[in-house]
Structure 1
Amino acid sequence: MKKTLILFFALMTVSAVIQAKKIPVHAWLGGPGKATDQEIATYFADLKSKGIDALMYNGGHDPATYERVGKLAHEAGLEFNAWIPTMVQAYSNKLDSSWYAVNGLGESALTHPAYVAHYTFLCPDREGVYRFLEDLYVNIAKVPYVDGIHLDFIRFPDVILARGLWKKYNLVMDREYPQFDYCYCDSCVAHFKAQTGIDIRSVKDPSVVPEWKQFRYDQITRIVNRLADAVHKEEKKISAAVFPGPSIAKKIVRQEWNKWNLDAFYPMNYNDFYLEDANWVGKMTKEEAKAVKGKSIVYSGLFICPNPANKALELDPENHGLTPEELGKAIKLSMKNGAVGVCLFTPDRMTEGHWKVFAKAIH
Structure 2
Amino acid sequence: MKKLFVTAVVIFTMISCAEKTKIPVYAWTGGPGEATDQELMATFKNYKEKGIDGLMYNGGHNPETYKRVGKLVKDAGMEFHTWVPTMVQGDNPKLPQDLYAINRNGESAFDKPAYVSYYKFLCPNKEGSFTFLSELYGNIAAVEEVDGIHLDYIRFPDVILAEGLWDKYGLVMNEEYPVADYCYCDKCVGDFKEQSGIDIKEVEDPSKVQEWKQFRYDLITNIVNRLSKVVHDKGKKINAAVFPGPSNAMKMVRQEWNKWDLDAFYPMNYNDFYLKGPEWVGEITKEEVESVKGEKPIFSGLFICPNPENKTKENDPENHGLLPSEIETAIRTSMENGAAGICLFTPERMKPEHWKAFDKAIHADYSKK
TM-score, structure 2 normalization: 0.97
What is the 5 A alignment of 1:251-270?
Answer: 251-270=251-270
> Which residue number corresponds to residue 25 of structure 1?
25
Give, as a single letter, the amino acid of the residue that structure 2 aligns with 1:247.
S
> Which residue number corresponds to residue 42 of structure 1?
42
Give the fraction of aligned pairs with identical amino acids, expressed as a percent. 64
Give, as a single letter, the amino acid of the residue that structure 2 aligns with 1:81.
H
Q: Which stretch of structure 1 is more off in the superposition, 28-37 or 289-298? A: 289-298
Displacement of 1:340 in angstroms is 0.5
> Which residue number corresponds to residue 309 of structure 2?
309
Structure 1, unaligned runs of 5 or more: none
Q: Find the residue that maps to 1:17 and give its secondary structure.
A: helix
Inter-partner Cα distance in structure 2 for 1:135 and 1:68? 20
Inter-partner Cα distance in structure 2 for 1:83 and 1:179? 28
User: 1:138-180 CA deviation, whole Å, 9 max, x = no partner?
Assistant: 1100111100000000000000100000000001112100000
What is the 5 A alignment of 1:233-272?
Answer: 233-272=233-272
Inter-partner Cα distance in structure 2 for 1:121 and 1:164? 23
Displacement of 1:91 in angstroms is 1.7
Give, as a single letter, the amino acid of the residue that structure 2 aligns with 1:73.
V
Q: Find the residue that maps to 2:56 and give its secondary structure.
A: strand
> Which residue number corresponds to residue 351 of structure 1?
351
Give, as a single letter, the amino acid of the residue that structure 2 aligns with 1:78.
M
Give, as a single letter, the amino acid of the residue that structure 2 aligns with 1:12.
F
> Which residue number corresponds to residue 58 of structure 1?
58
Q: Which stretch of structure 1 is more off in the superposition, 229-238 or 147-156? A: 229-238
Inter-partner Cα distance in structure 2 for 1:57 and 1:126? 27
TM-score, structure 1 normalization: 0.99
User: 1:62-96 CA deviation, whole Å, 9 max, x = no partner?
Assistant: 00000000000010000000010000001211111
Inter-partner Cα distance in structure 1 for 2:306 and 2:257? 29
- Correspondence 1:335 to 2:361: no
> Which residue number corresponds to residue 107 of structure 2?
107
What is the 5 A alignment of 1:1-363?
Answer: 1-363=1-363
Displacement of 1:295 in angstroms is 2.4
CA RMSD after TM alignment: 0.8
Q: Find the residue that maps to 1:297 and give its secondary structure.
A: coil
Inter-partner Cα distance in structure 1 for 2:20 and 2:71? 25
Displacement of 1:299 in angstroms is 0.2
Inter-partner Cα distance in structure 1 for 2:51 and 2:8? 24
Displacement of 1:2 in angstroms is 4.3
Runs (4+) of structure 1 exceeding 4 A deviation are none
The alignment covers a number of residue pairs equal to 363
User: 1:190-211 CA deviation, whole Å, 9 max, x = no partner?
Assistant: 1111111111111110000001
Q: Find the residue that maps to 1:335 and give its secondary structure.
A: helix
Inter-partner Cα distance in structure 2 for 1:104 and 1:250? 18
Structure 2, unaligned runs of 5 or more: 364-369
Give, as a single letter, the amino acid of the residue that structure 2 aligns with 1:54.
G
Inter-partner Cα distance in structure 1 for 2:172 and 2:180? 12
Inter-partner Cα distance in structure 1 for 2:212 and 2:271? 29
Inter-partner Cα distance in structure 1 for 2:360 and 2:92? 46
Give, as a single letter, the amino acid of the residue that structure 1 aligns with 2:170.
N
User: 1:88-140 CA deviation, whole Å, 9 max, x = no partner?
Assistant: 00121111110000001000000000000100000001001001100000110
Give, as a single letter, the amino acid of the residue that structure 2 aligns with 1:101.
A
Give, as a single letter, the amino acid of the residue that structure 2 aligns with 1:172.
V
Displacement of 1:325 in angstroms is 1.1
Inter-partner Cα distance in structure 1 for 2:137 and 2:16? 36
